[in-house]
Amino acid sequence: MKLKIGSITNPKILFFTPYYEQNRGNATTAKRIVKGLTTWGASIRVFAYEEQSWDAEWESYFHEADIYHVIHLKRFAEWFKRYSHLEISKPYILTSGGTDVNEDLKDANAARLMNAVADQSCGITVFSEDGKEKIVRANPVLADRIYVIPQSVELPVGQVTSVEFSGDPVFLLPAGLRPIKDVFYLFDELKKMRVTWPSLSFNILGPVLDKKVHQEVVEREKENDWFHYYDAVPIDQMKSIYEKVDIVLNSSISEGQSAAVLEALSIGKIVFARNNSGNASVIKEGKTGFLFHTPAEFHQKVTELFHSKEKQAEIREKAKTYIDQHHSLDKEMMQFLEVYTHCLTKVYSS
């Protein structure tokens, strides 16, 4: 396939992402977008700036590229300022990683750093209208270049996981261990729920990203035989993981748009998620899943749901349908094509 935008055929893209090998949200986003860009026939190189070393070969491609695509505003801005000799003279697209917009913009120094990168961009993509509004409030000048592109879902069918869960019902929280994920937000309420469901188990699965949070996980696992922690597994095992559990949880303080939530919904799993803007952008309350403001509200909604097999079946079916209709890779990449067209046509067409 040959892609022509303006005067550029099969544009050379240098794709910057903080992570590509580690099993993290930014890596999941990057791999999915790169897969979509590859179907265009573009020439693409991926540089994971938190994992790789910048050298002469990368610098050569930096100068050859027709356009840059960057994930995570703050992390990239911090990395790029270390290379003062580099000058961005090509158009570039920024894609919010979620935390950069939801949390980093609250810090004045981080906001100034992010704005310095955003000011010269030709397009900024966010996952939701809420993300757009937050950037516009911080820098109104950027309003006309922000595109809302919901994430699609890529959940490959791979090998069956060796992870086994015990309990009934089984609750799973897929999340990296770091403070923003607030992994013990529901812990006390789940403990209370064991009065009604004595075999209930709570399970966390994800990489260790913060030593302090990990230490708390280790201590609680020793003290509670109904709580278990599992390290991250390859993405091609996640479908098998989801199929083994009853309820998928998200208790993050803030979210851009959780890949784990989308993955669970895509195979018809029931999701209970903390009511933040990212989760609310994909979960339609009582239709595709459930949102909660407090642990007590979570408890109440779980109890009501477990009393209705019919409601459970309805939620599962509507969740799958919603993802099929609104979060396909084809739809996501058609929206990205609009951004690339805007950027490349504006700069290179005569």
Predicted pLDDT at 18: 94
Both 334 and 248 in one domain: the answer is: no
Quick: pLDDT tens for 56-99. Answer: 999 999 999 999 999 988 889 889 989 988 888 899 999 987 77
**Structural domain contains residue 159:** no
**Structural domain contains residue 20:** yes
Contact (CB, 8 A) for 251 and 274 = yes
Question: What domain range is 279 assigned to?
Answer: 170-326
Query: Quick check: 100 pLDDT over 80?
Result: no
Both 283 and 312 in one domain: the answer is: yes
Contact (CB, 8 A) for 176 and 255 = no
Quick: pLDDT tens for 243-272. Answer: 999 999 999 998 888 889 999 999 999 999
Instruction: List all residues 6 or more positions away from 350 whose beta carbon is below 8 Å from its beta carbon.
Output: 7
DSSP 309: H
Q: Residue 213 and residue 33: Cα distance in Å, rounded?
A: 30
Q: Residue 164 and residue 174: Cα distance in Å, rounded?
A: 15
Q: Strand pairing partners for 289?
A: 285
Predicted pLDDT at 350: 46
At residue 286, φ and ψ (nearest 5 deg) are 75, 5
Q: CATH number, domain at 79?
A: 3.40.50.2000
Q: Which helix (H) or strand (E) holds 117?
A: helix 108-118
**Two structure tokens written together for 12:** 């050379």
Query: Quick check: 341 pLDDT over 80?
Result: yes
Both 113 and 175 in one domain: the answer is: no
Report the Cα 312 to chain-centroid distance in Å.
26
Could you tell me how many residues make up the chain?
350
If one counts the domains in the chain, the total is 2
Q: Are strands 8-9 and 43-48 parallel, antiparallel or unpaired?
A: unpaired
pTM summary value: 0.83
Place of tokens 């919603």: 322
Both 133 and 11 in one domain: the answer is: yes
Instruction: List all residues 6 or more positions away from 137 whose beta carbon is below 8 Å from its beta carbon.
Output: none
**Structural domain contains residue 313:** yes
**Structural domain contains residue 300:** yes
At residue 317, φ and ψ (nearest 5 deg) are -65, -45
Both 335 and 227 in one domain: the answer is: no
Query: Quick check: 166 pLDDT over 60?
Result: yes
Both 307 and 201 in one domain: the answer is: yes
For residues 5 and 203, which has the higher predicted lDDT (pLDDT)?
203
**Structural domain contains residue 66:** yes
